[in-house]
Amino acid sequence: MVKNTIATLACVLLLMISSSAQAIQQYLTSEQFLAEVYSNEPSKPQALWLNKETAKQVEKILGHAPNQMRQRYWKIGNSSAWILEEIGKEEPITAGFVVADGKIAQARILTYRESRGWEVRYPAFLKQFQGVQLQADDYLNQHIDGISGATLSVNAMVRMARLALYFDKLSRAE
Amino acid sequence: MQKKLLSLIILSMLSGHAMATSIEDKIDMLQDEIDQLKVKAAYAEKNKGGIEGFANNTTVGGYGELHYNNFSGDVPVGQTRAKDEIDFHRFVLFFGHRFNDWISFKSELELEHSNTENEGQVELEQAYLDFNFSEKLNAKAGIFLIPVGLINETHEPPTFYGVERNTIETRILPSTWWEAGVSLYGELAPGWKYQAGVTSSLAAEHFEDFSTKGVREARRNVSEAPAENFGVHGRLDYSGMPGLTVGTSVFSGNTGQDNDTLNADARLTLWDIHGRYSVDKFDLRALYAQGHLSDADKINTAFGFDEVASRFYGWYMEAAYHIWKNGEQDFAPFVRYEKWNTQADTPNNIVRNDASENDIWTVGANYWPHPQVVLKADYQKFDKPDGDKGDKRFNLGLGYMF
């Protein structure tokens, strides 16, 4: 019985190995995200430039230097949309955030590349970010409940949420 | 000279206005080019040969824990209480290597108790190839941790409360427990995760100290281990709600290993139901585990044991409250109650050991100065003396993971 099980498992494995596979999942393109957010009228992107001082603050939020000194974003009225990338465990997660009146209005996963922790794309998890604001110390004012087995992806999402709120604050100060 | 400069500036401004693309558009185009170059450069880095390519695809991590145990209270009649102990219990290094976007290698090498001269040993707890096909289907093959309970697969010190791991996942589920084999895992439906596979099994001839250690001693750690019998495992977890995980797991396999003295299947089945709910400042955990062993009477007779039981179980409940948080720092007191019986049902040829049924209250606190670094302190009160270690214990611990 055990030998049969092993043989079946080996066959399944061989079949899976022979079919080329990829762990990368794109759930939403940037265009689709923006079209959803701005009901098919994405505004022209604007650019936020970091300086020495703000780059230092970004480094504090992310725990590493910013990926770029010029961050593109989209703006309509009081809301701004940000597409950010941050490494979960080994691979970058691409996420989109909409900030309205200094609060997160929407958080979405655009592309997920890790082999574990994909639960961060569940609406129940992402809904927690709605209404979250930045405290004076640049931490979120609400606790985000984690997902066991996806801690690093959850942490990456929290860092990106903090960054989106911080960028929004800078863009409004400009 | 100044007039010339001024006219040049005006001219350049005018020509700038006349152009179809603005400076901002040009910067945009340049940024697009830079972004594409970054992707290409990252790809080239990853696929580079030699030492650089190796470094880009190889990850190193680890964890460790230092424990201080102070034993006090009663010990069984005729025994002298054990001396207090300080121990660098576990020093672990993880090595991983990604071969391409769907095949990777993961390993965990552990030095227990600081050296191999006293009680310590070097152990290869994980060494497997991971094949990532999709969210729904992945496979691992090699030496890996059996997916039972809450602690066995996630056992880094900053991830659990208390200096020592809970007793139920030590005496009933024998954590840390690894075997060699193949396992499939993935997402069944949104929120539902599964794992199922076939591995090596335990060996009945090593069911020593059963009333205090359960099936622990029968683990063979894939070290020239018998392979006449195999075990199957399965696990199902639901984690579709933030902060919540509930699930169940099972392992079942014969442990007789074709032993001529025993000449019996000695089927061991271990199962558990577990739950964890971390919501806002609360962190709650509960687990119930039970084991069934067939041919317990024959095992006792064949190997001269007098403790091997046919049914054993245990459960615990734990509640922690994150009372203080400041940036990355976190402080959480906790309380845990554990109850177990390693000889719930026994064969006729042995006499139950009174100490096999016991319980512990543990109160203490974890302090994380950083999410990956933890300082721990707790006090434990056993219902009955836990051998020569007494019925009261004060523990201090230091742990890290990276």
Q: What residues of B are in contact with residue A14 (Cβ under 8 Å)?
A: none
ipTM for the complex shown: 0.75
Check residue A19 and give its pLDDT. 47
Q: Tell if the pTM clears 0.80, that is, is over it.
A: yes
How large is the average pLDDT for residues B287-312? 97
CB contact under 8 A, A23 and B102: yes
Nearest-Cα distance to chain A for B31, in Å, is 8
CB contact under 8 A, B104 and A9: no
How large is the average pLDDT for residues B116-120? 83
Check residue B218 and give its pLDDT. 94
Cα distance between residue B364 and residue B381, in whole Å: 12
Mean pLDDT, consecutive 10-residue segments, chain A of 174 residues?
Answer: 58 51 74 82 82 95 91 90 90 93 96 83 94 94 87 92 97 86
On average, the pLDDT of chain B sits at: 91
B196 interface with A at CB cutoff 8 Å: no
B367 interface with A at CB cutoff 8 Å: no
Helix axes A52-62, A151-173, angle to 10 degrees: 160
Evaluate if residue B17 carries a pLDDT over 60.
no
Q: What residues of B are in contact with residue A144 (Cβ under 8 Å)?
A: 242
Q: What is the pLDDT of residues B136-163, one digit of tens each?
A: 999 999 999 999 999 999 999 999 999 9
CA within 13 Å, CB half, A10: 8
Q: What does residue A36 show for φ and ψ, rounded to 5 degrees?
A: -65, -45
Distance of CA B270 to the CA centre of its chain: 17
The token pair that represents B50 in the structure block: 């030699």
B279 interface with A at CB cutoff 8 Å: yes
Q: What angle do CA B248, B251, B253 make, to 5 degrees?
A: 160
Evaluate if residue B14 carries a pLDDT over 80.
no
Residue of A nearest to B275 (CA): A148
Q: What is the pLDDT of residues B63-97, one digit of tens each?
A: 999 999 999 999 988 889 999 999 999 999 999 99
Check residue A31 and give its pLDDT. 86
Check residue B104 and give its pLDDT. 92
Distances (CA, A) of B319 to A81, B208, B243: 39, 33, 14
Size of interface A-B (CB pairs under 8 A): 98
Check residue B46 and give its pLDDT. 67
Nearest-Cα distance to chain A for B249, in Å, is 16
Q: What angle do CA A29, A30, A32 make, to 5 degrees?
A: 65
**Bigger pLDDT: A35 or B362?**
B362
The partner residue sitting opposite A22, judged by closest CB among B27, B102, B138, is B102
Residue of B nearest to A91 (CA): B101
Helix axes B50-57, B23-46, angle to 10 degrees: 100
Check residue B101 and give its pLDDT. 81
Evaluate if residue B5 carries a pLDDT over 90.
no
Residue of B nearest to A137 (CA): B327
Residue in the structure block whose two tokens are 């509960």 = B286
Q: What does residue B233 show for φ and ψ, rounded to 5 degrees?
A: -135, 155
CB contact under 8 A, B182 and A10: yes
Interface test with B, best of A9, A113, A118, A154 (most B CBs within 10 A): A9
Check residue A1 and give its pLDDT. 53
Residues A120-148, buried b or exposed e (16+ Cβ, 10 A)? Answer: bbbebbbebbeebebeeebebeebbbbbb
Cα distance between residue B192 and residue B207, in whole Å: 35
Amino acid letter at B66? L
Evaluate if residue B1 carries a pLDDT over 60.
no
Q: B196: closest CA among B231, B227, B167?
A: B231
CB contact under 8 A, A9 and B182: yes
Check residue B20 and give its pLDDT. 57
Check residue A25 and give its pLDDT. 77
Q: What residues of A are in contact with residue B102 (Cβ under 8 Å)?
A: 20-23
Check residue B398 and give its pLDDT. 97
Q: A106: closest CA among A129, A75, A124?
A: A129
Residue of A nearest to B134 (CA): A23
Q: What is the pLDDT of residues B209-247, one digit of tens each?
A: 999 999 999 999 999 999 999 999 999 999 988 999 999
Evaluate if residue B273 carries a pLDDT over 90.
yes
